[in-house]
Structure formats: C-alpha cells, structure tokens
Structure 1
Amino acid sequence: MVTLVLGLLSLSGLCAFLALLLEAAHAVFADYGPCRISINGGAKELSVKGGGRLLGTLMDQGIFIPSACGGRGSCGLCKVRVLEGGGPLLPTETPYMNAQEVADGTRLSCQVRVRTDLVIQIPEAFFLIREFRARVVGLKPLTPFIKEVHLKLLDPPEIVFKPGQFIQFQVPEYEGSPEPVYRAYSIASPARLKNEIKLVITRVERGVATTYIHTLLKEGDEVRINGPYGDFYLRHSDREMIMIGTGSGLAPLMSILHHMADEKIDRPCTLYFGVKSRQDLFYQEEIHELGAKLSRFRYVPVLSQPLPEDRWDGETGFVTDAVARDVTDGSRMEAYLCGNPLMINAAVKLLMERGVTEDRIFFDKFG
C-alpha cells in the first residue's frame, strides 16, 4: 500500500511538473500576435495580445468575469459564451456544463486561450464591475484560523453591492506566488457602509492567497479588489428564512442580517452556524445585537466536536443535524446557505426532502 501511494504521489508530481513545463514553454515560444475580441455583437471591440487566457485578457482590459478560484478551473463561475474562435470544449470544462450550455457555446473563460479573433457574449452586468484601490485599516483574528480584513476604499471611494455578494481580492506577486492571483471573498459588512468593506478569510494550508493575507498583509497596505459579483443575496418575500453557515461562510449571512436590521425586514429567520468547537465561534456579540433588532430572529450555534473545556450544552453534531431536528415542513420556507461544499450538498438534499423547492434554495460554496 505504501509503495502504491508513493507511486501515485510521484506520478502526480510528474504530471504537475510537465504541466508547468508546458505552460512555461507556451509563454516563451507561443506568439499569436494581436487578436481582436468582439463582445456582445460588436458593442465593444478589443485589440489584445494573443496567447493569454480569456479570463486574464479581459481583466487586463478592465472587464471582470466572476471567478471564485482565481482562474484555476475549479469553481466553474467564469462562464462566457464563445461564439467564434474558442476552439473545442476541453475536458477540464465539461464537468461544469449542462447540455444546454454546451449547445450554446458556453465556456470557462479561464480555460480558453486567445489564439485567434474571438466573438463572445457576456452579461451586460459584467461591464458594471469595477476595480478598486483600497487600504487595509484593520486586521483582526476572529478564531485561530480566521481573520477579519477591514478595507477602506480609496479609488473609487464607494462600492454598491447587494448583501451576500463577493469581491475578488488581488494577492500580489511574492515569494509564494510568481505572479499576482485573485481569490473570491464574501463581504461581511453592511451595504449601507459604501466606503468600506470587511472580509472574513480562513487560512488554508499552503494556500497562496490566504498564506499571504494571514502572514504578510499589514495594516496600511494598499490592495486591489474588484467586484461586486454573485447571485447570492436576499430575495424579497414574506417566507420564513433558514440560514445555514459554516466557518467563514458566515460572512455573507452577516451582511444579509445587517441589511434586514437596517431596512426593518422582520421576517421569521433562523441562523444555524456550524463549527468544530467554541473557539471557532465568532461574531457572537454582533449576532445577538442584530437579534435584538429582529424580533423573529433565532440563532442556533452547532458544535461538531465540542471540547471538554467548552462546557457546551447547546446543539452538537453536523449543522444539518440541527436543521433536521427542527424543520419538518419546509414548503413555505426559503433557504440561504454558505460554507463548504459537503455541507451545501447535504443541506440542499435535506431541505428538498423537507419540502423546500430548489428554486427557493440559494447558496454559495466555499471550496
């Protein structure tokens, strides 16, 4: 067994090395010259240097396409329609496409090379996404592995977003990354504070972006972000709401709760927040303050692995276990989920079994 594992690791390492070598060779030897990109029937025409990936090429031109993974091909968000010039659909794209999208020419822009002239179609809303310069005015540890990053916007000085949406944070080139990278983080702060935002960022082992943010980013540093992005936001209805979050997935739910308190949207709402132990709970005081403003709000923290010193007498197990114990009939409910993909998948399955229809389950996966 050990020999097999070592063999697989060696093979994976070799494949990664070859992929890196091919990428380097492509960057050095491939010269496709200038290419034209026609967008939305000629509404916008770009002249660009060929050879780069469509996602980054558009970003260089000030057109920002959503990408939670920073262009690594693992989130499936950066979809555009490529009507001409994109080449064949790649195996790395097919897991993220349904039959209709394949037929419509939908592609992942991070996987499409600009090798020739392109004709593409993107949602008009993408033209409204902007890049911002911001200054770090606060860095606060919330748990041993989660940090709050407080940014003040410099130029433009204000951002308008829907509570629940996310931005992309640019991590500059540093020792751990040979080039700038982008990662998506949900906004945790109220939408009424247009000149500042707060992000909640979990450190990922060997994560290029989170390593930089947790160990090198300092107060006073100037950073770049772009956005806002996403279809995860509060819908207008009078249905009872269920919110389910894990870890830093609490961030967009906090922004939604702030909005409800600010706008006096006093709908029945229960927030289930799942973490391992008491030390992983955060924003507890803020949640209770919001609860005081929302008369029909209920908060249910859930610990999956409480420690003896926690002296915990609340809900335990997976966060979905607590939901399953509480919810018997979800036919008149609306759900907002944010957290790791395993939780999202389990919660969607559970809620649909309880009668919450798929069109009333909204979620963001962190992975």
Structure 2
Amino acid sequence: MDVGLLLVSAAVLGGLAGILALVLIVADKYIADYGICKVDINRDPAVSFECRGGGNLLMALAERKIFIPSACGGQGTCGYCKVEVRAGAGSVLPTERMHLTRTDIRRNVRLSCQIKIKNDLALRIPAELLAVQEFACEVEKLEALSHDTKLVRLKLLDPAAIAFKPGQYCQLNVPRGYLLRLVPPIFEPIFRAYSIASMPKDEGIVELIIRLVPNGICTTWVHTLLAEGDRVTITGPYGEFYLREDSERPIICVGGGSGVAPVRSIVEHLFDKGTQRRVDCFIGQRALRDLYWHRENVARAAHHKNFRYIPSLSGLEPGDAWEGETDFIHLVVDRSIDDASDKECYLCGPPIMIDAVIAVLKDKGLPEERVYFDKF
C-alpha cells in the first residue's frame, strides 16, 4: 500500500474521531437532559439539595456553600476533593484512579471534580468540611519576600474572624473578571490552595505566602494585578496537616520552597505560646535570593535554647555570600538528627523532598504515625 495514502487515511480517521468526540461532548452538555437530581448529604435534609443534572459535583456543592478542598481548582490533578459517594456515581473513572487508594475505592471514595451529576447521589461529607466558611477579605498588605515570592496579608471582613490550626490552608478564589479577560477566557471558577502563614491568635488576619509559578493563573494575577485595598474571597480552613498541641514530644519541622508557610505558622505559634518543646527547624531553598523568614529564625535561635535553626541552600548562584549548609535538605537532616524515635515531624514542600526526609527519619526510628506532611 502507498505510504502517503496510508498516512492520509490515518489523518482523516483521526480527524473524524476528534470531530465525533467533540460532537458527543457538546451533545452531552447541551442536549442531554438529566432532569432534576437529588444530592443527599449525610441523610440530612438541612444540607441536602436538588439541582438540574449535567453539572460538576464539586461546583454544585460550592454553589451551595459546601466547600470541598481542591488545590488544583477542580482540574483533576491534585486528588484533594475526595468525598464518599454511597450511591449514584457509577464506576470509578480512569482520571480518578491515580489519586485513589484501594481503601478509598472500597469505601466508595471519589473525586468530586470528576463526578458529573446524572442522577440522584448519596454522599457522606465530614462535619469539619461542612463547617468550612467563605470569607470576604481586603488586601491589607503586599510584601516581596524574595524575587518571586510575596506575602499577602488579608483582613477578614465577613465573617470577621477565622478559627484554624497552625499548618492548615485556605483556598483563594481568582476574580471572575480576570478570568474572562484571559485569552482564551475561562468561564469556570478557579481557586488555588495556600497554607496559612499567620498565627491563629490573629483571628482577623490571614497571611499567605505565594510564589510566582510561570503561566500560573492565580499566581500571575497575585503578582501582577493584585493591589492593596482590593477585595478578594477565600474559603477555609482545610487540612489534616496541623500542629498536634496535645503532645510534649520534641518537634522536627522541615520546609522547602513555598512549603515554608505552614512551618512559619507552626513555629511562631509555638514560641508565641512559650513552648518548652525542643524544635529543630530545617529550611531548604535553592539560592540566597530565595531565602526568606531567615533573620527571624536566627534571632529566635539566639534567644531560645530549645530552638535550632538550620537552613540550606542547594543551588548557590555566583556572588552568593553564604557560609551555611549547601546540601539537599534531607541530607542535612540526616547529619543533624541522630535519633528520631521520641520525636514528631512536620514536613511541607515538594513531594520528592518530603519522601526523602521521611525515609531518613524512619531509618532513625521515627514512627510513621508521627509523621505529618503536606506535599505541594
């Protein structure tokens, strides 16, 4: 058979398949009528609701002020928006499987962003998620912490106070007007998760530390357009990563990159409360221009015998005046901790860093149940 004819045939078939897929998507969205569907939540009429079928479960819940966490804004990449679906969701989709464990699947846990409401659903949502609130805020302060990282201080307006645990996070909503001006425009809501960097005692304030991600929708808006005095909306608090205050064990904190934010909240809260617990704080960044929250920790270490601060810069640039550690942070932890069997550990940062630090500390006797982490 002529190779040229074969290639043309394959291209035509591929084009027809693409057109057919597009037609099916459009037909399902605009022609298919799923009618009115009931979404039962915890068998509680006060939070259950009815809606027209065809929509996304995550967004349908958000429209009714039930805020399920979603660090990726409902794109199916973070795996945070898990809910237990007792009935009505159908088979687990391929887009969900990489985020679901075997235990999740046995318990009928699904990603709410991947579930299309086509019929009645029965859900179980934990009370702590039903208690998550939406907050109207004003940008009180913007401060450059490094060449690509900003501190965003938000004053809460309505409600005027938030109760959270050090280490938890909130979600920042990107304004609809900004999304519609993008090319191409984005019509779906976009929100991103950021750890709370402030202390719980400052209940009227939420501080976020936001690093600029190239081509990131939310971070580009924050770094180029957000101004002091602007109004924004957040939801929260979220997360099982938080300081366990019912313990007196020594603590190891490790933060890498923008994972410094929750470590900042944990450490500053502990010493504001006058903790007597031993705290070893490891911070990993690449170069001197990336390092922030440094002088505060140097001063804290000088004033508190129970606080040790060890930063490491693993990618020094020409001209960086640095005499401290220069290895990857897990190697620094390995050299600095002899026995971890009596400790508990809080880790936040890139997955590869967290996995490496966990392996080091487990080898030094740290029980797995005392490792708390949040992977960015």
Structure 1 and Structure 2 fold alike (TM over 0.5):
yes
Name the CA shift for 1:353/1:88 in 2 (closer, same or farther; >3 Å): same
Question: Partner of 1:54 in structure 2?
Answer: 57
Map 1:1-367 → 2, pairs under 5 A? 26-43=28-45, 44-173=47-176, 174=178, 175-176=181-182, 177-179=185-187, 180-235=189-244, 236-291=246-301, 294-366=304-376
Identify the range of structure 1 (24-33 vs 243-252) with the bigger mean alpha-carbon deviation: 24-33
- Whole-angstrom distance in 2 between the partners of 1:17 and 1:69: 28
For the residue of structure 1 that corresponds to 2:139, the secondary structure is strand
Question: Partner of 1:4 in structure 2?
Answer: none
1:59-118 residue CA offsets vs partner (Å, 9 max, x unmatched): 100111111221111111111111111111111111222222211111011111111111
What letter corresponds to residue 209 of structure 2 in structure 1? V
Question: Partner of 1:9 in structure 2?
Answer: none
1:114-159 residue CA offsets vs partner (Å, 9 max, x unmatched): 1111111010111110000001111111111111111001100111
Question: Partner of 2:4 in structure 1?
Answer: none
What letter corresponds to residue 30 of structure 2 in structure 1? V
Name the CA shift for 1:18/1:56 in 2 (closer, same or farther; >3 Å): farther
Name the CA shift for 1:45/1:330 in 2 (closer, same or farther; >3 Å): same
* 1:185–1:199 Cα contact (<8 Å) kept: yes
What letter corresponds to residue 186 of structure 2 in structure 1? P
* 1:266–1:295 Cα contact (<8 Å) kept: no
What letter corresponds to residue 312 of structure 2 in structure 1? V
For the residue of structure 2 that corresponds to 1:107, the secondary structure is strand
Name the CA shift for 1:16/1:252 in 2 (closer, same or farther; >3 Å): farther
* 1:71–1:110 Cα contact (<8 Å) kept: yes
Q: CA deviation at 1:30?
A: 3.7
1:13-55 residue CA offsets vs partner (Å, 9 max, x unmatched): x999998887665443343232111111235320122211111
- Whole-angstrom distance in 1 between the partners of 2:373 and 2:197: 15
Identify the range of structure 1 (261-270 vs 20-29) with the bigger mean alpha-carbon deviation: 20-29
Name the CA shift for 1:290/1:232 in 2 (closer, same or farther; >3 Å): farther
Name the CA shift for 1:332/1:292 in 2 (closer, same or farther; >3 Å): same
Identify the range of structure 1 (179-188 vs 35-44) with the bigger mean alpha-carbon deviation: 35-44
Name the CA shift for 1:320/1:216 in 2 (closer, same or farther; >3 Å): same
Count of residue pairs the alignment pairs up: 353
What letter corresponds to residue 149 of structure 1 in structure 2? V
Q: CA deviation at 1:288?
A: 3.4
Name the CA shift for 1:29/1:295 in 2 (closer, same or farther; >3 Å): farther
For the residue of structure 1 that corresponds to 2:161, the secondary structure is coil
- Whole-angstrom distance in 1 between the partners of 2:303 and 2:92: 51
Name the CA shift for 1:162/1:110 in 2 (closer, same or farther; >3 Å): same
Q: TM-score, normalised by structure 2?
A: 0.89
- Whole-angstrom distance in 2 between the partners of 1:289 and 1:19: 61
Runs (4+) of structure 1 moved beyond 4 Å?
Answer: 14-26
1:313-353 residue CA offsets vs partner (Å, 9 max, x unmatched): 11012111101111232111111100111111111122112
Name the CA shift for 1:185/1:26 in 2 (closer, same or farther; >3 Å): farther
What letter corresponds to residue 36 of structure 2 in structure 1? P
Percent sequence identity over matched residues?
A: 44
- Whole-angstrom distance in 2 between the partners of 1:332 and 1:16: 58
* 1:257–1:290 Cα contact (<8 Å) kept: no
For the residue of structure 2 that corresponds to 1:32, the secondary structure is coil
What letter corresponds to residue 204 of structure 2 in structure 1? N
Question: Partner of 2:6 in structure 1?
Answer: none
- Whole-angstrom distance in 2 between the partners of 1:278 and 1:40: 51
1:234-285 residue CA offsets vs partner (Å, 9 max, x unmatched): 1132222111111111100111112101221221111111111111111223
* 1:261–1:293 Cα contact (<8 Å) kept: no
Structure 1 gaps of 5+ residues are 1-13
- Whole-angstrom distance in 2 between the partners of 1:250 and 1:26: 44
Q: TM-score, normalised by structure 1?
A: 0.91
Q: CA deviation at 1:311?
A: 2.2
